[in-house]
């Protein structure tokens, strides 16, 4: 994030602090990062969605008190996520210790950034490829189910899947 | 082993999604990259979730700040956050340090007023308890007095009017003179008079009033109206048809007939009435509670004292007598209390009159 991007984000935060409805822009800008970070640390999609939702609700509630300290806004969001995840782990394992702060690990933010970028790239895929990718990886449907849904052959669906992932890899 | 065609790549994807082990040789970097990309796709969010959460947040954003949540109080806040200490304060006293959770704004003045009211209420509770400990016996006594019942002096109205009394006079301009009424007799030969019109009658006859002959009235020497206020000058009063007073009929007093006092017919009337027959009951308007005597309280003695009293036309109790004693100093306490009472007097013919009543004072401990 360069200086211009920092300033833009700062202005966006200040605008959202004045008018909470502007929080939607912060949400759109950071949703993929937060979800990617959370989803890789929880065992199920439902839990990932719960924690992601809680992160943003808490962020909106505390936005008025947020003080700009020069770090990206997503770092604050991921800090909330780390504690929410830790609390879930504590409840699940009844282990009193909080796991190591993932944000301190080398490359976590970069990895999160890559995963968020991948989600954004999926959105730019052609319609049929994007549909196949979401059905296959998000909904976990089989090739046969997708083929039946789209009225195409299984071979054609496999080709769409292959080309989409090739595209994502290349990009 | 997978080859780089769509068919076999999907076989690898199927293994990946099923959680099975993948057999990819390390030197097949292109396939590894593809599978790694595919693996990352498992963590894509559902578009519906994304849009639903966005809508939820927008709905939350338009709420008043106080309703958006209590993020600062959430324990999940990072420990290094500058909000942590504030969060701790707000968790303890949310109305004081946060915007609250109400739709209405939370103001410090409201909190202060609420605090003051609560402190006052608590102070009242504690001081009343302390006061009760200190003054308990007295309060119990007063309450026992409050439980005292005054009964029997409100009598039912009689179906017919009382009789008795009489009056007379010679239409003098001067008010009737004070004196004794003549004796009672079954017949009246001549009405009483203060001023003798004929001091040497040819056939003298003793003036009498009609009434029970054995009923003796005090004799003061001068004949007159016992209820009159003045002694002189001598006067038969403003009444008519003979006799003494302002009434009519040859008697003494303000009534009608040959008797004495208020009323009509004969006999003695006026004076103290009894309730009923046109005489209303007096009504207590000031009745301080009697106190328990120390002796009776220690003995936990209970019961009732019956008093006879005359409530005069001014509403004052007088001539208090104990009709049924209780003892242990309670008779005196009952008399002392009732003597302080004040009444709206009994009324007869629109005028206040004295009546005799009974008052029962009940002493009861609880």
pLDDT in tens, B56-111: 888 877 766 655 554 444 444 444 444 444 444 444 555 555 544 444 455 677 78
Q: How many CB pairs under 8 A join A and B?
A: 147
Q: Do A138 and B44 touch (CB under 8 A)?
A: yes
pLDDT in tens, A74-92: 888 988 999 898 888 877 7
Higher pLDDT, B29 or A35: A35
Arithmetic mean of pLDDT, B256-284: 75
Asked, for residue A141, whether it belongs to a domain, the answer is: no
Whether residue A147 lies inside any domain: the answer is no
Contacts of A129 in chain B (CB under 8 A): none
Q: B68-106 burial, b if ≥16 CB within 10 A, otherwise e?
A: bbbbbbbebbbeebebeebbeebeeebbebbbbeeeeeb
Please tell me the least confidently modeled range out of B36-40, B148-152, B213-217, B267-271.
B148-152
Q: Cα distance from B139 to chain A (closest Cα, Å)?
A: 57
Does residue A137 sit within a domain? no
Q: Is B351 helix (H, G, I), strand (E, B) or coil?
A: strand
Instruction: Say if residues B96 and B88 touch (Cβ distance below 8 Å).
Output: no
Note the pLDDT of residue A52: 93
Complex confidence, ipTM: 0.83
Residues of chain A contacting residue B5, judged by C-beta atoms under 8 Å apart: 162
Q: How far apart (Å, rounded) are the C-alpha atoms in residues A85 and B142?
A: 69
CB A60 within 8 A of CB B61: yes
Task: State how far residue A97 is from chain B, nearest Cα, in angstroms.
Answer: 14
**pLDDT of the residue at B138:** 64
The CA-based angle B344-B349-B352, given to 5 degrees, is 30
Note whether residue A165 is domain-resident. Answer: no
Q: E strand or H helix at B345, and its extent?
A: none
| Candidates A82, A134, A169; nearest CB to B34 | A169
pLDDT above 90 covers a percentage of chain B that reads 6
**Which residues in B112-133 are b (16+ Cβ under 10 Å) and which e?**
eeeeeeeeeeeeeeeeeeeeee
Packing angle of the helix pair A23-39, A45-62 (nearest 10 deg): 140
Q: B107-157+271-366, superfamily in CATH?
A: TonB (3.30.2420.10)
CB-based contact A61 B69, cutoff 8 Å = yes
* CB contact set of B125 (below 8 Å; sequence gap of 6+): none
Of all helices (H) and strands (E), which one includes residue B284? strand B283-286
Q: Note the pLDDT of residue A100.
A: 47
Predicted model pTM: 0.43
In terms of C-beta distances under 8 Å and separation of at least 24 residues, what long-range contacts does A14-19 make, across chains too? A14/A68, A16/A63, A17/A63, A17/A64, A17/A66
Nearest Cα of chain A lies from the Cα of B132 at a distance, in angstroms, of 51
Question: What rounded mean pLDDT belongs to chain A?
Answer: 83
| Segments forming the whole domain that contains residue A80 | 3-101
Of B40, B57, B70, the CB nearest to A60: B57
Listed by start position, the domains of chain B span: 6-41, 47-97, 107-157+271-366, 165-269
- For B105-157, the pLDDT digits (tens) are 556 777 888 899 999 999 999 888 888 777 766 655 555 444 444 444 444 44
Residue A125 domain-assigned (yes or no): no
Instruction: Give a yes or no: residue A94 inside a domain.
Output: yes
List all residues 6 or more positions away from B145 whose beta carbon is below 8 Å from its beta carbon.
B289, B290, B291, B292, B337, B363
pLDDT tens by residue, A43-65: 888 889 999 999 999 988 888 88
Q: A168 lies in a domain?
A: no
| A8: Cβ contacts below 8 Å, ≥ 6 apart | none
Interfacial residues of B (vs A; Cβ cutoff 8 Å)? 5-7, 9-10, 13, 17, 33-34, 37-38, 40-47, 49-50, 53-54, 56-58, 60-62, 65, 68-72, 74-78, 81-83, 86
Most distant CA atoms of chain B, gap in Å: 173
Q: Are A85 and A54 in contact (CB under 8 A)?
A: no
The tens digit of pLDDT for each residue in B187-203 reads 777 888 877 777 778 78
Nearest to A21 among B37, B61, B78 (CB): B61
Residue in chain B lying closest to A49 (CA): B49
CA proximity to A152, closest of A130, A171, A128: A128
Tokens 């966006």 locate to: A12
Query: What phi, psi does B19 have (nearest 5°)?
Result: 80, 15
Q: Structural domain tally of chain A?
A: 1
Position B221 scores a pLDDT of 72
> CA-to-CA distance for B304 and B119, rounded, in angstroms?
44
Best probe of the A interface among B3, B12, B41, by most A CBs < 10 A, is B41
Which range has the worst mean pLDDT, A26-40, A83-97, A108-122?
A: A83-97
């Amino acid at each position: 994030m360069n200086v211009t991007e920092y300033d833009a984000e700062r202005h966006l935060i200040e605008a959202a602090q004045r008018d909470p409805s502007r929080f939607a822009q912060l949400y759109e800008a950071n949703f993929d990062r937060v979800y990617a970070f959370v989803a890789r640390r929880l065992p199920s999609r439902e839990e990932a969605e719960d924690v992601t939702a809680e992160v943003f609700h808490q962020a909106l509630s505390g936005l008025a008190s947020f003080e700009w300290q020069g770090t990206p806004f997503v770092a604050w969001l991921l800090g909330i996520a780390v504690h929410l995840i830790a609390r879930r782990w504590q409840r699940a394992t009844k282990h009193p210790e909080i796991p190591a702060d993932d944000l301190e690990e080398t490359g976590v933010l970069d990895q999160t950034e890559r995963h968020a970028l991948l989600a954004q790239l999926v959105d730019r895929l052609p319609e049929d490829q994007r549909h196949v990718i979401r059905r296959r990886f998000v909904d976990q449907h089989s090739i046969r189910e997708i083929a039946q849904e789209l009225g195409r052959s299984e071979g054609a669906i496999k080709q769409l899947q292959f080309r989409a992932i090739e595209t994502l890899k290349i990009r | 082993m997978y080859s780089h065609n769509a068919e076999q790549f999907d076989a690898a994807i199927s293994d990946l999604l099923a959680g099975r082990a993948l057999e990819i040789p390390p030197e097949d970097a292109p396939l590894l990259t593809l599978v790694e990309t595919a693996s990352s796709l498992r963590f894509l969010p559902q578009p519906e979730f994304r849009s639903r959460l966005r809508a939820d947040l927008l709905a939350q954003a338009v709420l008043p700040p106080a309703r958006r949540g209590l993020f600062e109080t959430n324990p999940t806040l990072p420990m290094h956050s500058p909000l942590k200490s504030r969060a701790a304060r707000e968790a303890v006293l949310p109305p004081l340090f946060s915007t609250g959770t109400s739709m209405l704004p939370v103001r410090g003045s409201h909190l202060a007023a609420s605090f003051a009211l609560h402190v006052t209420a608590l102070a009242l509770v504690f001081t009343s308890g302390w006061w009760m400990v200190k003054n308990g016996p007295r309060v119990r006594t007063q309450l026992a007095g409050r439980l005292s019942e005054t009964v029997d002096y409100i009598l039912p109205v009689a179906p017919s009017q009382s009789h008795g009394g009489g009056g007379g006079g010679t239409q003098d301009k001067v008010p009737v003179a004070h004196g004794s009424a003549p004796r009672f007799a079954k017949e009246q030969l001549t009405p009483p008079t203060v001023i003798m019109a004929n001091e040497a009658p040819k056939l003298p006859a003793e003036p009498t009033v009609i009434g029970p002959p054995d009923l003796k009235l005090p004799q003061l020497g001068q004949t007159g109206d016992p209820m009159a206020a003045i002694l002189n000058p001598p006067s038969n009063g403003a009444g008519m048809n003979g006799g003494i007073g302002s009434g009519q009929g040859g008697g003494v007093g303000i009534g009608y007939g040959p008797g004495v006092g208020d009323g009509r017919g004969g006999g003695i009337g006026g004076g103290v009435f009894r309730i009923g027959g046109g005489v209303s009951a007096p009504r207590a308007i000031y009745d301080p509670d009697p106190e328990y005597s120390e002796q009776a309280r220690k003995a936990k003695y209970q019961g009732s004292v019956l008093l006879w009293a005359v409530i005069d036309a001014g509403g004052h109790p007088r001539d208090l007598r104990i009709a049924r004693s209780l003892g242990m100093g309670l008779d005196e306490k009952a008399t002392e209390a009732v003597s302080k009472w004040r009444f709206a007097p009994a009324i007869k013919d629109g005028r206040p009159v004295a009546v005799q009543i009974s008052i029962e004072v009940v002493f009861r401990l609880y």
